Amino acid sequence: MTRLKALDPNEATGRSKELFEGIKSKLGMVPNMMRTMGNSAAVLEGYLNLSDALSKGSLGSKTGELIALTVAEANACNYCLSAHSFIGEKLVNIDASSLAQARDGKNNNQKTEAALTFAKTLVNKAGMVNNDDVHAIKAAGYSDGDIGEVVAHVALNVLTNYLNNTANTEIDFPAVKAAVV
Which tens digit of pLDDT belongs to each residue from 36-87?
A: 999 999 999 999 999 999 999 999 999 999 999 999 999 999 999 999 999 9
Nearest to 122 by CA among 131, 133, 111: 133
What is the structure's pLDDT at 181? 60
Please indicate, yes or no, whether residues 80 and 41 belong to a single structural domain of this protein: no
User: What DSSP letter does each residue of 98-157 carry, written as one string?
Assistant: HHHHHTTT--SSHHHHHHHHHHHHHHHTTT---HHHHHHHHHTT--HHHHHHHHHHHHHH
Residue 7 lies in a domain: no
First to last CA, the chain: 18
Q: Domains in the chain: how many in total?
A: 2
Please indicate, yes or no, whether residues 46 and 64 belong to a single structural domain of this protein: no
Nearest to 31 by CA among 42, 40, 19, 49: 19
Please indicate, yes or no, whether residues 131 and 45 belong to a single structural domain of this protein: no
**Domain carrying residue 49:** 14-55
Please indicate, yes or no, whether residues 66 and 47 belong to a single structural domain of this protein: no
Please indicate, yes or no, whether residues 71 and 37 belong to a single structural domain of this protein: no
Per-residue pLDDT tens over the stretch 141-152: 999 999 999 999
Residue 89: CB partners within 8 Å, gap ≥ 6?
A: 96, 99
Share of the chain above pLDDT 90, in %: 99
How far is 9 from 27, CA to CA, in rounded Å? 13
